[in-house]
Structure 1
Amino acid sequence: MSAETTDPLALLRDLERRCRSHARPLPSQVEIREDWLGIGFRVGDSRLVAPLDEVAEILTYPGFSKVPGSKEWVRGIANVRGNLLPIMDLNGYLHGRPALPGRKTRVLVINHRGVFSGLVVDEVLGLKHFLPEQRIDEVEGVDDTLQPYLSHGFHNESGLWGVFSMRRLAETPQFLQAAV
């Protein structure tokens, strides 16, 4: 045996050299992008999306009782699993024209700072995913009555989607004044 093979440091160097020559490269780092998620819905001809964390529940159009002395866009009050839920017509509130209930009509339930309400929409279009590069800050070409409630928007292959803030709606004094 030579002095080099009995030298522990030389043995470790040789072992390291052989390990490095047979080692596989580390996996390449994959960039993870976070999609923006929201609930797509339609009010009239406008396609909108609400942030996922601002919609508590989606209901089929429930039976309800009328509330005397309330504005036209207040459809009534419904009993949902033992809780009284005010039902508001979003199209009626925004445009002054009540939505005509159909088989696609749904109710988006919001619960923000004590405002627990159901918003009647013409249709729920499902969970929508948007990439960060699809975001647009200025949403143009939408109805002026929607503008105060739009925080931004997204543009993808299916067109323009305005991000409708349920929180802004719930904090609007006109929305909170449901009595005549």
Structure 2
Amino acid sequence: MDQTSRDKPATSLDRTRPDAGLRRTRLREFQAQLVERMQAAQSGARVSASQLGVMIGQVRYLLDLQESGEIVSAGSMTKVPLTKDWYVGVSNIRGNLTSVVDLARFEGRDVTNLDHSCRVVAFAPSLAFNSGLLVSQVLGLRNAAEMEEQESSDGGIRPGQKPWIVKKYRDRDANIWTQLSLAALVQDQDFLHIGL
């Protein structure tokens, strides 16, 4: 590096590059960690009760890694006519047409707004159900063992009220997490009937 390049003030572009590079590195590390844990979960190896944390609408959910599949961008989905409003459409995930459902709307809440942070979490192949959930945001891995199990006294969804809701937890930051069973969800008759 010559003297002139060292004395040159950093431009705004130069200042943003390390952050972008750092974000890419963190994303790669997160993806590698997620793949490693999902493979461990699928092989039956003991994983310290980690689950995938996602936000659907304004509700935080925990998804079992053995029931969760690939996470992809929610960018291109094709609407299907004469379907219920919670059925978002179909998406091509690695050559497979995957139906995408807005769980928030299915449960009677507001429609999940599609934006740049939205993703589709596909169901694991072991469930033999070619579907995925539209999520507002992927929040990373969470350990339910480090959370406090909650009795629902706040008027919210209670475990057992809907068969796909397993438990509710409160984390150290007082956030409430709802453990979701995708295996139970795919057996629900209302979930299976998407037509009007």
TM-score (norm 1): 0.71
SS in 1 for 2:81: coil
> Is residue 46–residue 142 contact of structure 1 (8 Å, CA) maintained in 2?
no
SS in 1 for 2:186: helix
The answer for the alignment partner of 1:73 in structure 2 is 86
Shift of 1:119: 0.8
Counterpart of 2:71 (choices 25, 38, 58) is 58
**In 2 relative to 1, CA 34–69 (structure 1 residues): closer, same or farther, beyond 3 Å?**
closer
**In 2 relative to 1, CA 81–164 (structure 1 residues): closer, same or farther, beyond 3 Å?**
same
The answer for the alignment partner of 1:168 in structure 2 is 184
The answer for the alignment partner of 2:25 in structure 1 is none
User: Residue 157 in 1 paired to residue 172 in 2?
Assistant: yes
Q: Which segments of 5 or more consecutive residues in structure 2 lack a partner in the other structure?
A: 1-45
User: Residue 93 in 1 paired to residue 113 in 2?
Assistant: no
Shift of 1:55: 0.5
SS in 2 for 1:92: helix
TM-score (norm 2): 0.66
Shift of 1:121: 1.3
Larger-Rg structure: 1
The answer for the alignment partner of 2:118 in structure 1 is 105
C-alpha RMSD over aligned residues: 2.4
**In 2 relative to 1, CA 135–128 (structure 1 residues): closer, same or farther, beyond 3 Å?**
same
> What is the alpha-carbon distance in structure 2 between the residues aligned to residue 87 and residue 34 of structure 1?
28
Q: Which segments of 5 or more consecutive residues in structure 1 lack a partner in the other structure?
A: 1-32
Shift of 1:137: 6.2
Name the one with the larger strand percent: 1
